[in-house]
Structure 1
């Protein structure tokens, strides 16, 4: 997947979360939760982060492969993680 870099939605609170699209340095505002059913158990969720500009492109990339499970605003994702 040469058009995406890895990013973690659990970075330090001081570090801005950056979009996962290759070369993008914009602040992420979306979490794209996905898994590859050939590699991951059904409940496992990997994440990519997306800025407004790249949300649709990254969602489409994952969607055509059947990997995309959910697209959630980053703020809501962080709130749900804090509740766990």
Structure 2
């Protein structure tokens, strides 16, 4: 079974892992993960980045 993209309504296979945390809620070393397909990588990264939450983007296999 493949992992789906985290974008609302998207069922494409995720190829990227967006690692993030909310510093108001999480310790600095904690990482939450959103998965993204190629189409939604930029929009999800922009959403997290605009809030200062995005820490890293890695390939997801």
**In 2, distance between residues paired with 1:24 and 1:51?**
9
CA-based RMSD of the aligned residues comes to 0.5
Shift of 1:63: 0.0
1:51 aligns with 2:37: yes
- Greater fraction of residues in helix: 1
Counterpart secondary structure, 1:47: strand
1:21 match: 7
- Whichever of the two has the greater Rg, that structure is 1
2:19 match: 33
Shift of 1:56: 0.1
Which string of whole-angstrom CA distances, capped at 9 and with x for unpartnered residues, describes residues 19-65 of structure 1? 00000000000000000000000000000000000000000000000
- The one of 46, 49, 57 aligned to 1:63: 49
Q: Which has the bigger relative contact order, CA under 8 A and spacing at least 6?
A: 2
The normalised TM-score by structure 1 is 0.72
